[in-house]
Amino acid sequence: MTRLPAAQRRQQLLDTAAKLFAERGYAGATTAELARAAGVTEPIIYRHFASKRDLFVALVDRTSKETLSLWQDRLADAVDPAESLRLLIGANPMITTKGRGVYRVIVQAMTEIHDEEILKAIKQHVALLHEFVSQQIVAAQDEGVVSKRFSPEITAWLLLHLGLGYGILAPVGIPGHGRDSSGMRVREVIEQLMLGVN
């Protein structure tokens, strides 16, 4: 076992947990399996996390930060709110190589909401994403590129619902998923509905 600085070890444990939870689910994975996969002893895990649940909640929290960071980076060079929104519509972390496994864990976490701490973490995760998306919609509405017919809050919920559904279906590999026979894609439809893009 290689000795790592505490912060680095914590990240390594979270990385390993993300893979293990994605494969076996939260309920199916044990700290003993996590220790083996990470090349550490179980006491090392408990030095960084009080319980498997605390590790899981930390993983959800980290995913929130990473998603917001991904979106901020993606939108950094946008020239206007319309382009920001267009880029955001295409930046679904559930279908990226890195995000796919982590968001599989998030979806699994939604089946563990009987646990108050996990429920709290999921609510906070979704609230942070909703706030970010709402801010982008406000900016686009203020610039007159998105209709004010619907509030930024409900429009943000619509985009999150669509993104979650798309993210769940995309890995299944259904033939023709997300597009029609002419090649029109879901993303393009959303852009046209919201931004009037032809």
Tell me the pLDDT band of 5, cut-offs 50, 70 and 90: confident
Most confident among 16-25, 89-98, 112-121, 130-139 (mean pLDDT): 130-139
Pairwise pLDDT comparison (88 vs 1), residue with the higher score: 88
Q: What is the DSSP string of 84-145?
A: HHHHHHT--GGGSHHHHHHHHHHHHHGGGTTSHHHHHHHHHHHHHHHHHHHHHHHHHHHTTS
pLDDT tens digits for 76-124? 999 999 999 988 988 888 887 666 667 777 887 788 888 999 999 999 9
Domain ranges in the chain are 1-49, 59-195
Superfamily covering domain 59-195: Tetracycline Repressor, domain 2 (1.10.357.10)
Which of 1.10.10.60, 3.30.43.10, 1.10.240.10, 3.40.50.970 would CATH assign to domain 1-49?
1.10.10.60
pTM recorded for the entire structure: 0.87
